[in-house]
Structure formats: structure tokens, C-alpha cells
Amino acid sequence: MRRLFCLLLPLLLSQCAVRKLEKSQLPNALPIAVSNNAVAYLNINGQHQFYTFNGLKPGRTYQEITNQAFVWHSGEWHDLNVPAEQLPVLASVAVSVKDSVYLFGGYTVAADHSEKSIPNVWRIDGFSHQWQAMPAMPTPVDDAVALVYQDRYIYLISGWHDVDNVSLVQVFDTETKTWQQATEFPLPPVFGHAGGIVENQMIVCDGVKVVWQGDKKQFLPSPECALGFIDEQDISKIHWQKIPHHSGTAFYRMAASRHNKGQVYFAGGSDNPYNYDGIGYDGTPSKPSSTIRIYDFQRNQWRSSEAAIPKTMDHRGLLSTPAGVFILGGMAENQTVVNKIIKIKEE
């Protein structure tokens, strides 16, 4: 018995060491405080890799827009050596496909406050972390939703293009490196919306729509959700249908992602649409939410958890990983740009 214990003891200790090592390989904060940052996750050879790109630093002026990018691996953050062609932008979006991260678009803000949607698409290799330029978006969009199907196709849904929203669904094939158009988004086109995908079913909710009053734009919440079913015979065909909303109140720039059990999580956001500095279009400082809204595809129903997370808003993605569900950065109360990482308690 003693001999068996002696033989097992090194194994037990090694297992404890592995568990401790895995825990230590999870970041507890970002290297900088940043909001409106694109985020992504890869698991390379069993190791966690967290990515953050672009966004807004604590000063919250156009001069505080950054193109800094970092990756967490081997227990620490590393600079991603951003190419000179990658401008400082807001509202870009990133996703992972196989062993790479793809980064799309965003918009620049000039000194006169004019904004420009950029067409750039980058592939970042998960092993070498080298950047490779991909074919540009046919229609440059920012504040769009990006969803991955079959670990190959990336769907860019609606979003802002220079002067207005578009209802386009643009599909990038990561194998052939080509673009095509899919069935358009059926609700009013929006920016700052959120969504997730489970197998061939996607859900997209909320965001901000443009309503014209004479020659003047109004930016209004869009409390609507749509389900889209990708045709398994033709990936460019999406069968859309409107579904009941999660609450009747639209939230802007929630963090969203598919998670286990056929669910999509929508976390945080603000019920008052705002400019990039966190001040509402109505002039009122926007307040973050602490609610998680969960859509269950198996039951076709919503549920929500109030005060489930610290209050947070201004997100471009939620990271679902084998180690849990994470929010990286964002704005807390009083428009405070943070470097915090929030781990969501799974339900």
C-alpha cells in the first residue's frame, strides 16, 4: 500500500502542478486600460491565447484612439508588433478561425471629428503572430457583428459605413480568401449590435438605427432581435425571422458570444446610445449594465441574470474559452476606461 502511494504521489503532485500552471496562465488584467477593443481567443497546443486590438484609452478623445495590440501567452502579455498600415481605430472586430485570428475594419476619427470606415482585413497567425493582409472588405464597415460558421466562413452583419448603416451581410471565405454577399439583415440596419452563432443558427440583437427627421439624423435604440438560419446547401442564403426581444429595451455594444449548451450570452452594454466618449447622443452620460441576457436555442427562449457582473459597456466581443467566459476591458461607471478582465459565472 505504501509502495502504491509512493508511486502515485509524484503523479498526484504533477497533476496539482498542472492545474496550478493552467490557472496561472489566465490573465487577470489587460496591459493597458482600453475600451471598444476587438478581442479574440485561440487555444494553441492546449495553451490559452487572449488577444486585444485597437480601441480607446482613458482620455476618451480622438487622440486617445489606439492601434496597440497584445497577445497573452506563456503567462504574460506580448506586444503584437502592429504593421504601419494598421491605423488607430475604434469599433473593429476580431474572430478566430482554426489557428488564426482575423481582424476587420474599424473607423478613424480626425481632428475635425470626421469619421472614416476603413476596409482593412488582417490575418494574425496564432503560432508566429505575424500579420498578413487579406482582401479588403467590399463595403468597409465598423461596429459590425462578426460570426464564424464551419470554422471557415466569417459573416459580417450590418454595421456602419462612413455616413449610415448598411443592411449587408458580407461573407469572407478564409480558405479561398474571397468575399461574397449573403441574404441581407432583415431588421433596420444598425451599428453597435451584438450576436452569436450555434451551428448554423445565428442571433443578432439591438444596436442603434438611424431615423431621419427632415435632413437631420437621429440615433435611436433598436430593441429588436432576428434569428438567421444558414442554408446548409448554400452558405450565402440566410433564412431570417424576427423573434421576441429579451427585454423590450435595446442595449448598445454588449459583449456577446456563443457558449455551451446551445446558448448565446449577451453581457453588459448601455441602454443609452452614445458617441465614442461614452456620452449619449442625447447629451446624457451613458450608464453601463450589469445584466447578462441568455438566449437558449434548444428552448427558443430568453432568460436574464440581474447584477450578474460588474457594470460594464463599450464592448466588441465576449470570449468563450475552455477556462470560462471573459470580458476584456471596456467602460465602467462614469465613463471610466478600465484594464479589468471580468470572468462570467457560467449558468
Amino acid at residue number 35: S
Which tens digits make up the pLDDT trace of 85-97?
A: 999 999 999 999 9
Q: What is the pLDDT of residue 261?
A: 78
Q: What is the pLDDT of residue 87?
A: 95
Cα 117 to Cα 88, 110, 159, 216, 230: the distances in Å are 12, 12, 10, 21, 27
Distance (Å, rounded) from C-alpha 51 to C-alpha 42? 8
Please tell me whether the overall predicted TM-score, pTM, comes out greater than 0.85 for this model: yes
Domain locations along the chain? 29-344
For residue 171, what is the enclosing H or E element?
A: strand 169-173
Q: What is the pLDDT of residue 347?
A: 67
Cα 180 to Cα 60, 156, 173: the distances in Å are 36, 11, 8
**For residue 156, what are the contacts with CB-CB under 8 A and spacing of at least 6?**
93, 104, 137, 141, 144, 145, 146, 168, 169, 170, 171, 172
Amino acid at residue number 117: S
Say if residue 138's pLDDT is above 90.
yes
Q: Which three cell numbers stand for residue 61?
A: 478623445
Which tens digits make up the pLDDT trace of 304-327?
A: 999 899 999 999 999 999 999 999
Say if residue 10's pLDDT is above 80.
no
Say if residue 98's pLDDT is above 70.
yes
Burial of residue 111, with CB atoms counted within 10 A of its CB: 0-12 exposed, 13-18 middle, 19 or more buried: exposed
Say if residue 19's pLDDT is above 90.
no
Domain 29-344: state its class. mainly beta
pLDDT band at 215 (very low <50, low <70, confident <90, very high): confident
Say if residue 15's pLDDT is above 50.
no
Which among 217, 234, 223 has a CA at the least distance from the CA of 150? 234
Distance (Å, rounded) from C-alpha 65 to C-alpha 88? 6
The alpha carbon torsion through 186, 192, 193, 196 (nearest 10 deg) reads 120
Which tens digits make up the pLDDT trace of 280-304?
A: 999 999 999 999 999 999 999 999 9
